């Protein structure tokens, strides 16, 4: 029903949206193919990454250029850890979180804290995101 908020008016004849209309009128949800899959023993939380300034594009790539969604990053543990060990290059100002640009203005200039004891204030632009890097196993494996 979320899609149909707009697509009831826009492109409401488009053959690409046949499935969406079918789901809307039949009440049967679309069976989406899962593209980004993590193993069951990995616990990933979107909200904290978004809140701390990791843009969509950083992990999912330029989905605006993809005819069909595909996995852009390798999603292996070393890839996660690279960023968890040095998040600074990937942290962007909040207003560019959803922006489909690889390098957002101001990206990589925001200081990240490297210890648990850090408590930056949300007002300070340099520590706006107040990122704490975490590399303990239980950060993702529980």
Partner 1 sequence: MSKRKPTTPIETDQWRSVEEHDDPAAAQAALAREFPDGASELEGASRREFMQLVGGTLALAGVGTLAGCKDPPEKILPYNVKPGDVAPGKPLHYATLLTHGGYATGVLATAWEGRPTKIEGNPDHPVNKGATSSFDQAAVLSLYDDSRAREIKQHGTGKSWNEFCHTIGKHADGLKGDGGSKLAFLVEPSGSPLLASLQKRIAAAFPKARWYGHGALSMDEAYEGARIAFGRPLETQLDLTKAKVVVSLDADVLGAWPCWLSAQRQWSERRAPGSEMSRLYVAEAALSCTGMMADHRLRARSSDLARLARALHAAVTGGSSDAGDAKANAWVKAVAKDLLGAGGEAAVVVGARQPAAVHAMVHAINATVKSAAVSYTAPVLPTYDRIGALADEIKGGRVDTLVITAWNPAYSTAGDVAFAQLLGKVPNAIYLAAHEDETAASAAWVLPRAHELESWGDGRATDGTVTIQQPLIKPLFNGVTTAELWSAFLGEGGMGGYNLLRAAYPTLDEVAFQRQLQKGLLDNTALPKETSALQSGAITGAVEKLTAPAGGLEVNFVPDHRVLDGRFANNVWLQELPDPVTKLTWDNALLISPATGRKLSLKTHDRATLKTHGGSVTASVVVQPGHADDSVTIALGYGRNNSAEVNARGCGVNVFPIMSSGMQSGRWFDGGASLEKAAHGDKLAITQEHWNQEGRPIALEVANRAVMQKHLPIVDEVKGPVESMYEPHSYTGFKWAMAIDLNKCTGCSACVTACVAENNIPVVGRDMVKRSREMHWIRLDVYFQGSADDPTSVQPQPMMCVHCEKAPCEYVCPTNATVHSDEGLNEMAYNRCIGTRYCSNNCPYKVRRFNFLDYHPNVQNIARMGMNPDVTVRSRGVMEKCTYCVQRIERARIDARVAGRELADGEFTTACAQVCPSKAITFGSLHDKSSEVSRGHDDPRAYDVLHELGTRPRTAYLARVKNRNPELNNG
Contacts with partner 1 by CB under 8 A lie at: 1-2, 23-24, 27-34, 37, 39-41, 43, 45, 47-48, 51-52, 115-117, 119, 122, 130, 132, 134-139, 141-142
Of 40, 50, 1, residue with least CA distance to 21 = 1
- In the complex, what is the shortest distance from the CB of residue 127 to partner 1, in angstroms, rounded to a whole number? 11
Q: Are 60 and 46 in contact (CB under 8 A)?
A: no
- In the complex, what is the shortest distance from the CB of residue 133 to partner 1, in angstroms, rounded to a whole number? 10
Whichever of 2 and 67 has its CB closer to partner 1, that residue is 2
CB-CB neighbours of 57 under 10 Å: 21
Q: Are 60 and 24 in contact (CB under 8 A)?
A: no
DSSP bridge partners of 132: 113
- In the complex, what is the shortest distance from the CB of residue 139 to partner 1, in angstroms, rounded to a whole number? 7
């Amino acid at each position: 029903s979320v899609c149909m908020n707009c697509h009831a008016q826009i492109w409401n004849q488009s053959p690409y949206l046949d499935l969406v209309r079918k789901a809307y009128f039949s009440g049967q949800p679309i069976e989406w193919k899962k593209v980004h899959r993590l193993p069951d023993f990995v616990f990933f939380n979107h909200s904290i990454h978004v809140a701390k300034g990791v843009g969509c594009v950083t992990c999912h790539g330029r989905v605006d250029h993809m005819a069909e969604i595909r996995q852009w990053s390798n999603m292996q543990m070393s890839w996660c850890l690279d960023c968890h060990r040095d998040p600074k290059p990937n942290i962007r100002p909040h207003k560019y979180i959803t922006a489909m640009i690889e390098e957002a203005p101001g990206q990589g200039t925001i200081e990240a804290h490297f210890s648990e004891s850090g408590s930056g204030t949300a007002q300070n632009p340099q520590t706006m995101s107040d990122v704490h890097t975490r590399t303990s196993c239980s950060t993702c494996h529980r």
